[in-house]
Amino acid sequence: MLILIAALLAVLVGTVLQRVSGTGVGLVVAPVLSLIMGPGPGVLATNAATTCSGFLITLSVRRFVEWRHTAVLVASAVPGIVAGALVVRWVPSAWLQVAVGAVVLAGLAVTRFSPATPELSRRTAMVPAGVIGGFFNSTAGVAAPAMVIYSRVTRWDQHRFAATMQPVFMSMGALSVVSKLAAGVHFALPVPALAAVGALVLAVLAGIAVGTWLSRHLTKATAQKLAMALAAAGGVVVLLRGAATLVLG
């Protein structure tokens, strides 16, 4: 029961952050569930949680979603998700986490600390961003850093970015779950599946309510800074989690 409570608290906090900044569930939930369930099953469970949260948040922000943009990003993510599912099946997760975390932090550093943030057109950056985001989502449960970097280099409006990410994360999560189950990755729940799903939905709805209230009191600049900070935190957590596993065995 304590495991379920910890997981639901992580989902609640992640959903609040995701409603405000566009990202959060994967970044908060993946480390918690990986510690509780192990890296492979924890990321798989995170993918399931992001599917639920993305769907429910989409319902509340759907009029701001750029649906054509969503379709291209999701379609581009498919090869990365499939590749990630196969890699998770055969490559030690610790090495994957170190590599993903390092790449995420390097990309954020270039975006944040370069004299002028690189600017790319959507036509140039959209497909690579989808592929990389899909791979990161499948291997580490954190597609958000790749998407945040993409939003910065293409100068995507923060409000529309936050809305559009919800169906993107929902779709990536669902595809990652299906591909991993097909590849033989499984996890067991500490409670009956129906009870776990019901508790998950309630936690997400509570997070959406709190996040919606907070979003009315934050400027776009503050929300954008929060998204960057969460992306960096996600990269650090993934890298340290992998490094700790390698060192401690």
Domain that holds residue 29: 2-248
Backbone torsion region of residue 60, taken as left when φ is above 0, otherwise alpha when ψ lies between -120 and 50, otherwise beta: alpha
pLDDT in tens, the chain (249 residues): 677 788 888 889 888 888 888 887 877 787 777 777 776 777 788 888 899 999 999 998 999 999 999 999 999 999 999 998 888 778 887 887 787 778 777 777 766 665 566 788 998 999 999 999 999 888 877 788 889 889 989 999 988 999 999 999 999 999 988 888 887 767 666 667 788 889 889 999 999 999 889 888 887 778 767 777 877 887 787 788 888 888 876
The total number of residues shown for the chain amounts to 249
Residue 207 is predicted with a pLDDT of: 92
Structurally, the chain folds into a number of domains equal to 1
pTM of the model: 0.82
Phi/psi at 219 (5° precision):
-80, 165
Q: How much is the pLDDT for 4?
A: 78
**What pLDDT is stored for residue 115 in this prediction?**
58
CA distance 236 to 100: 10
